[in-house]
Amino acid sequence: MKKIASLLLTILLTVCLFTGCGDNAAPGSAASGGTAGKIAYMTNASINDGGWNQACYGGMVEAAKQYNFETAYTENIDKADYVTTLSDYANMGFDLIFVPGNEYTDAILEVAPNYPDVGFMVLNGDICGDNYISIKADNVQMGFMAGVVAGLRTKTKHLGYVGAEEITTSIDCLNGYEQGAQYIDPAIDVASGYTGSWTDSAKGKEIAISMISAKDVDVFFGNAGQVDVGVREGAAEHTDRYGIAQPSDCLQENPNLILTSIVTDNVALISLGLEDWVNGSFGGKIYSAGAAEKVLSYGAFGNNAKEFETQAMDIYNKLAAGEITLTR
């Protein structure tokens, strides 16, 4: 593993210039004022998706500033190019490569053994090895928090959940969403659907409208990146329909439609990996954190959720204190 000390010989103050790469562009770096190391972000979506990737990339940049790491990113990558992009960054001398989901697991497992001096971080992953770790928020708790708010708001007792791919993180989130709703009212049911894409907001909108028509769903929670925006657009076309956002506070997007946001402190999660790298203890770990660690919290409550904000926060505090046991 690379020694950090040698990288500290040169200390330069540089202006942050975050320049992105197109679909097939080679990885490009963007200085963030540091020389302790270099960390890259790669994603199959846009870093300006208004949801998951924007929050993950922003969290990485903020954590990198704290540890004086340079940053880079490549966005809109096809699945067939995951391995190539990871290898390109490793060959360019990047110390750490960060990916925002366990859909990149196979590519990490293929590439990591070829670059033992490079560290790989998987957000929401379930893998660890000599030079790769997983960092994740507790997705069951995340879903539970959303389900509580949805359960407190619903009038029809029919809720909707929209995911991108039917992978572990999404399944866990749906599980928690159902438990949270039924913690409020066991008679509530949850309809679920998957788009097969993290970027097809039109498909998300289509699924939401279909759920309203077929199931009378009145509160939606999405866990599908840019697709979540489309889900909320579908809800907005009907009266008395609402959405719960994540992973950052999105209330200002539409304070009447959005009930609240389930906020993930990605800076804290990513900092776990950076701290290990700097201390020479990187690898072989899976970090998981939730309400107890304040990695998961509620954002601001919207106009149509103020009436039960106190009740939702009381339940959150019980969850954080370990007084609520969730099925996994």
- CATH of residue 230's domain is 3.40.50.2300
> Does some domain include residue 84?
yes
pLDDT of residue 52: 84
Q: How many structural domains comprise the chain?
A: 2
Q: Does any domain span residue 59?
A: yes
Residue 27 predicted with pLDDT over 50: no
pLDDT surpasses 60 at 16: no
Percent of the chain with pLDDT strictly greater than 90? 80
User: Is 326 a member of any domain?
Assistant: no
- Structural domain includes residue 57: yes
pLDDT above 70: residue 120: yes
- Whether residue 114 is predicted with pLDDT greater than 50 in this model: the reply is yes
Q: What is the pTM of this model?
A: 0.78
131 and 14 share one domain: yes
Q: Is the distance from CB of 163 to CB of 169 less than 8 angstroms?
A: no
Tell me the mean pLDDT in the region 132-151.
Answer: 97
Mean pLDDT across the chain: 89
H or E segment and range at residue 260:
strand 258-264
Residue 164 lies in a domain: yes
pLDDT for position 4 = 31
181 with 159: CB under 8 angstroms? yes
At residue 3, the pLDDT reads: 31
Q: Are residues 128 and 206 in the same domain?
A: no
Residues 172, 56: one domain?
no
**Cβ pair 159, 208 in contact under 8 A:** no
Evaluate the omega torsion of the peptide bond into residue 247 and state whether it is cis, within 30 degrees of 0. yes
Q: Is residue 325 part of a domain?
A: no
Q: What is the mean pLDDT of residues 299-319?
A: 98
Residue 35 located in a structural domain:
yes
Stated as kind and residue range, the H or E segment containing 178 is helix 168-184
Q: Based on the domain organization, do 258 and 200 belong to the same domain?
A: yes
Q: Which domain holds residue 27?
A: 5-138+266-289
Instruction: Look at residue 137 in the predicted model and tell me its pLDDT.
Output: 93
Say yes or no: 173 and 132 in one domain.
no
Residues 157 and 115 in one domain: no
Mean pLDDT, residues 167-194? 96
Give dist(CA 79, CA 165) in Å, integer. 13
Is 327 within the bounds of a domain? no
pLDDT at residue 8 in the model: 26
Residues 116, 250: one domain? no
Q: Clarify whether residues 217 and 107 are in a common domain.
A: no
Residue 286 CA to residue 9 CA, distance in Å, equals: 32
Same domain? 233 vs 270: no
The mean pLDDT value for 15-35 works out to 36
pLDDT tens digits along 213-245: 999 999 999 888 789 999 999 999 999 999 999
- Are residues 35 and 171 both part of a single domain? no
pLDDT greater than 50 at residue 260 = yes
Give the per-residue pLDDT at 50. Answer: 77
177, 57: one domain: no
Q: Which residues pair with 135 in a beta bridge?
A: 123, 287
The structure tokens 């609402």 sit at 242
pLDDT > 90? residue 22? no
Residues 187 and 230 placed together within one structural domain of the fold: yes
Distances (CA, A) of 146 to 154, 213, 215, 222, 263: 12, 22, 19, 10, 10
Give CA separation, 208 vs 149, 213, 218, 255, in Å: 18, 9, 10, 19
**Whole-number pLDDT of residue 226:** 82
